[in-house]
Amino acid sequence: MDETSATKAGTYEFDKDFIVNRLGYGTMQLTGNGVWGPYKDPDQAADLIKSSFDLGVNFIDTADSYGPWHADTYLAKALKDYSDSDKIFISDKVGQVRTGENEWTPVGAPAFLRQEVELSLRLFNRDHEDLLFLHRIDSHYTLEEQVGELKKMQDEGKIKHIGVSQVTLDELKDVQKVAKIDAVENLYNVGHHKDDDEIVDYAKEQGMAFLPWFPLDTGNLTKADSPLNDIAKKYNASSAQIALAWLLKRSDNIIPIPGTSSLEHLKDNIAAANVNLSDEDFETLSKLQK
Ligand SMILES: NC(=O)c1ccc[n+]([C@@H]2O[C@H](COP(=O)([O-])OP(=O)(O)OC[C@H]3O[C@@H](n4cnc5c(N)ncnc54)[C@H](OP(=O)(O)O)[C@@H]3O)[C@@H](O)[C@H]2O)c1
């Protein structure tokens, strides 16, 4: 049987000092209901993140708004307990406050964005963010105020790469006038991609990574009635693996960041790196979204 390792998913180069494996992990499932409050077993949460490192994952997507702060606290613990923690690339996000379960409010006040970065660096015991996303554009502030503040922190050495999340192509082009954008993170999966296909291609052309959030359609693509089941049987794979293999084949700037609270599912997801979809099956899957 093939070894399970994210190293088999190929790599993406952010800069010559940081080349990441193209199968990451997203921490959002490690919280309470509605991404609010602590995860039911904090030690298990930190252990799960550490297991992802052991499986070759070196790209972790997170945000202080997950919990808030709970997922980041587990990540900080996992990093502290891991000898090669400086080799873990953190993809972080700022610019949203939480007021309760499933409540997300963009806040783009420059001083707030700066505070989030400073608190995250303190928690992660780092002097810079590897990749920092503006989680959402806040219409109460200009792009110069929001992305401009990230650019200032980049100039101060506190942020290496800047990204934007859930943007249209026009917004992405506007943001590029304020700062160099190295990554985009939008909702994207095999069942829901048409709206963003052109952003994936534009990002590739511009030398940006594309992080598809909800890569498993928040679990719907893995269910018993998954539309991926027939192709999954053909590859002796799980439907989650087919969803991730489709993303990996779609474009080499895509870094899937599946979220899970289960070690079994984590291993299943990483083993997607062993699935080589044929061109024909890739095309069939690409047409699933009507
Ligand atoms: N930028 C943004 O605005 C934004 C928004 C949302 C999410 N994100 C990021 O994207 C990451 C991924 O999104 P997500 O976690 O919400 O959704 P997802 O990865 O599409 O799906 C996660 C769901 O699928 C289940 N699952 C995972 N692997 C499975 C497997 N192999 N078999 C069966 N079920 C499986 C999980 O349940 P179990 O826990 O039981 O495995 C969970 O319910 C987040 O962690 C976060 O980092 C970003």
92 lines ligand 1 (CB under 6 A): no
- Asked whether residue 96 is assigned to any structural domain, the reply reads yes
pLDDT digits (tens, 9 = 90+) for 59-102: 999 999 999 999 999 999 999 999 999 999 999 999 999 999 99
37 is a domain residue: yes
At 164, is the secondary structure helix, strand, or coil?
Answer: strand
Count of domains for the chain? 1
Give a yes or no: residue 2 inside a domain: no
CA 214 to ligand 1: nearest atom = 20
Residue 267 located in a structural domain: yes
Q: Which of 25, 28, 35, 186 to mutate to test the pocket of ligand 1 (most atoms within 8 A of CB)?
A: 28
Tell me the two tokens of residue 183: 């990554």
Any domain includes 199: yes
Alpha helices in the chain (DSSP H): 42-54, 70-80, 110-124, 143-155, 169-175, 197-205, 229-234, 239-250, 263-270, 279-286
Say if 160 falls within a structural domain. Answer: yes
Report the share of the chain in percent with pLDDT over 70: 99
Residue 168, domain CATH? 3.20.20.100
The answer to whether residue 142 is domain-embedded is yes
Q: Would you say residue 137 lies in a domain?
A: yes
Q: What are phi and psi of 275, to 5 degrees?
A: -95, 120
pLDDT tens digits, 31-58: 999 999 999 999 999 999 999 999 999 9
Domain that holds residue 174: 10-286
Predicted local distance difference test score (pLDDT) of residue 290: 74
Q: Among 165, 265, 274, say which to mutate for ligand 1: greatest number of ligand atoms within 8 Å of CB.
A: 265
Tens of pLDDT, residues 173-215? 999 999 999 999 999 999 999 999 999 999 999 999 999 999 9
Whether 91 and 61 have beta carbons less than 8 Å apart is answered as: yes
Tokens found for residue 209? 């990574």
CA distance 18 to 24: 14
Give yes or no for residue 259 CB within 6 A of ligand 1. yes
The CA distance from 115 to 259, in Å, is 26
